Structure 1
Amino acid sequence: MPHSEVILISDGPLPMDSPVRKIPFFFRARLIDMAKVSPKTSGEASVAIIELLGSSKPGMSALKSSWGSIAEIPVIGIIDKSDRREMTQAAALGEMDLVDREAPLALLLHQVKKYLKTDILKDLPKDTPERTAQAFSKANAFLETLCMSAVSDASIQIRAMEDSAKDALSAIDLEGLLAWMQAVESHHSPTYSHSLKVAGLAGAFARHLKWSEADCREMVAGGLVHDIGKMRIPLTILDKPGRLTDEERSLIAKHPVFGQEILKPRLEVPYEIKRMAIQHHEYLDGSGYPNHLKADRISQKVRVMTICDIFTALTEERAYKEPMPPRQAIAMMKNMGPKLDQDLLRQFSDMILDRVFAELSRPVSAAGGGAAA
């Protein structure tokens, strides 16, 4: 999910069956009416995608007259290659790559990524250990496939999830939690960065609690998957560089419900990982969401995930807030009293404050704004 913006061009609203409707879940994207394309509306976009389904003669005429406004950046046209009218319209506009409307979504995403040329490894701190860098790259690749699964009928790649969790846990064991947290802090997407941080924290905390190898890996996997519901929310809201409106915050608060909708039919996903995704905003006193569960219905692994998620949100930098120092974040969480498992929180505090991890109170420059907690 690169920083660069993609502009989506359509004659009026995007048709319901257009694959272009899914682009905003993967890239920062903005819709422009075909008749209003200009240097001002296209801005500094890196790629343009034109949906030709339903385009009218006046819309096409307006777009052709302003073609120079977008011709300097790569243009992708979405057409039905068996439709002579759309093929003729595309040819009349100018040079562009053509993608068939019925082609797999992955093909369109690959075409966009080819032009954006995002390399997450180039932004890593120069002293990032090799195993940590490799695990970071593999976990990021899994998150990209997870996003595809969340917005389409694609299968969740369980083997990739398990391999990513195994490699991340191994990197943290050998090269340290601090190296992992500093590496994933460099990610250009605040949403991906958050999941990667929670995954690392959850795995390290499970190790601290002396859980089994299988349970430690499951906690890392749970951290990677826990916000899968957010992948049904456009990036313009998730990574908004400023405070959210009430409507936007309400939409983001639905992500555990979206997660439940995505994961319920996925029999291949372990039950405890599903619970972490659906219940990580539940509180022991019943004041959480979405189902107001109380302590006896909230598992130990979910309680751990909740602690790691809240700590990460508090200590992350955002465009509208400074990162909270770890000691202050722990104090705030202790003040949450019966909402959190305070015995687990004490052990989490011991792990965090006894480590060099406290140095994260002086984080590397955050990768972007982002309003999603």
Structure 2
Amino acid sequence: MFFKARRAAMAGLSRETVGDAQVALVDLQDAGQAGLVALKAWEGVAGIPVICLFDRKNRRELIQAGALGKFEALDRSEPVAVLLTRIRALTGNDICKALPPGLSRQTTEAYRKSNAFLESLTLSAIEGADIEVNLMSESAAEMLTALSLDGLSVWLNAVHTHHSGTYCHSLMVAGLAGMFARHLGWPEEACLEMIAGGLVHDIGKTRIPLAILDKPGKLTEKEREIINRHPDIGRVILKPRHELSVAIKKMAVQHHEYLDGSGYPDGLTGERISQDVRLMTICDIFAALTERRAYKDGAPPRVAVSIMKQMGPKLDQDMLSQFARMVLEDRFCAVKRSAKSAR
């Protein structure tokens, strides 16, 4: 989720498999002899930096890392943030490079800060650290200002450039939720909380295998079952996080609940589902419908709204009617839908 990446077998390294990669990350866990031989010949394959992950307590891996002295070695027990910092230094990665030309300073900074928060959120979920609520609040404020100045379509066209389908989806839902809350005339504090909730709502996906999240094809029934666990996983992650509001936690756990009780994970009905969660559910479904996936085109906004209206008692139809008024404006319909996947 942090960088555009692909997997390659060590034993099958070639200029073709390396391609345009800027850095290689090699895990020495259970490394076979063929892979190690190929790794030693790396400089003849591609002149890019190599970081080898090893376990300092594992004598075999320690010896292997020592034998590969010309490459960087990093103990696997180090915090993930250490590895990310090193990769970023080697690649000079700037998430804003792919943004559309001519984007305003406000939207660019909102995108940068929101992405920084999503990265910190992922690290928090991985390492059990506190969520950076100050960064979350700053990101929400920057995004709301950008939405107010430049409009929703500009924001969505920007976030669709992200390499991670999961991050793109979270940024899209956050923008939709903030703008919709403002469209409904909710107070600014409530708009900011909806944006924060959109950024956090899929935190459970940080523990879903990327092979499933980024699968370039339709999910199997078993894979869909795994994906559907993410609200419960989010509940486990967020339960001890007292730094987050109850409302934001509910958005993460309940955004797949339906008013008629047919949703998950708890089968909630009617008044047990708050207005915040109802709004988040509408934005989440609309984002999923309009994003393109590897195996299907994204639906145009008008078609997506029609599909949602056909869901009848599952959704708050009065709220959906208000949402339709917002997203079916001509300037919104000019949004360039993403080729990324978000499930």
Which residue in 1 is equivalent to 2:309? 334
Please say if 1:213 is aligned against 2:185. Answer: no
Which residue in 2 is equivalent to 1:38? 12
Which residue in 1 is equivalent to 2:39? 67
Q: 2:134 aligns with which of 150, 156, 159?
A: 159
State the SS of the aligned residue for 2:334. helix
Which amino acid in 1 is paired with 2:99?
L
How far did 1:84 drift? 7.1
Whole-Å Cα distance in 2 between the matches of residues 110 and 245 of structure 1?
Answer: 35
Please say if 1:248 is aligned against 2:220. Answer: no
Q: TM-score, normalised by structure 2?
A: 0.91
Which residue in 1 is equivalent to 2:276? 301
Which residue in 2 is equivalent to 1:343? 318
Q: Is the Cα contact below 8 Å between 1:42 and 1:69 reproduced in 2?
A: no
Which residue in 2 is equivalent to 1:15? none
Q: Is the Cα contact below 8 Å between 1:241 and 1:369 reproduced in 2?
A: no
Q: 1:101 aligns with which of 73, 76, 80?
A: 76
Please say if 1:222 is aligned against 2:197. Answer: yes
Q: Is the Cα contact below 8 Å between 2:4 and 2:163 reproduced in 1?
A: no
Extract unaligned runs of 5+ from structure 1.
6-27
Q: Is the Cα contact below 8 Å between 1:2 and 1:118 reproduced in 2?
A: no
State the SS of the aligned residue for 1:66. helix
Whole-Å Cα distance in 2 between the matches of residues 305 and 239 of structure 1?
Answer: 23
CA 86–170 in structure 1, closer or farther in 2 if over 3 Å, else same: same
Q: Is the Cα contact below 8 Å between 1:219 and 1:301 reproduced in 2?
A: yes
**Matched length:** 338
Whole-Å Cα distance in 2 between the matches of residues 266 and 315 of structure 1?
Answer: 32
State the SS of the aligned residue for 2:212. helix
Larger deviation, residues 184-193 vs 88-97: 88-97
Aligned-residue Cα RMSD (Å) equals: 2.3
Q: 1:268 aligns with which of 243, 265, 271?
A: 243
Q: TM-score, normalised by structure 1?
A: 0.84
How far did 1:82 drift? 7.5
Extract unaligned runs of 5+ from structure 2.
none
How far did 1:321 drift? 1.2
Deviation digits for residues 133-176 of structure 1 (CA, Å, limit 9, x no counterpart) = 11001000100111111122121101111110011001101111
State the SS of the aligned residue for 1:37. helix
Whole-Å Cα distance in 2 between the matches of residues 141 and 189 of structure 1?
Answer: 13
Q: Is the Cα contact below 8 Å between 1:2 and 1:116 reproduced in 2?
A: no
Whole-Å Cα distance in 2 between the matches of residues 37 and 82 of structure 1?
Answer: 25
CA 107–93 in structure 1, closer or farther in 2 if over 3 Å, else same: same
**1:1-373 to 2 correspondence within 5 Å?**
1=1, 4-5=4-5, 28-29=6-7, 32=9, 37-39=11-13, 43-44=17-18, 46=21, 47-52=23-28, 59=32, 61-68=33-40, 70-71=42-43, 72=46, 73-80=48-55, 86-360=61-335, 363=336, 366=338, 368-370=339-341, 372-373=342-343
How far did 1:74 drift? 2.4
CA 115–252 in structure 1, closer or farther in 2 if over 3 Å, else same: farther
How far did 1:194 drift? 0.7
Show structure 1 runs of 4+ deviating over 6 A. Answer: 82-85
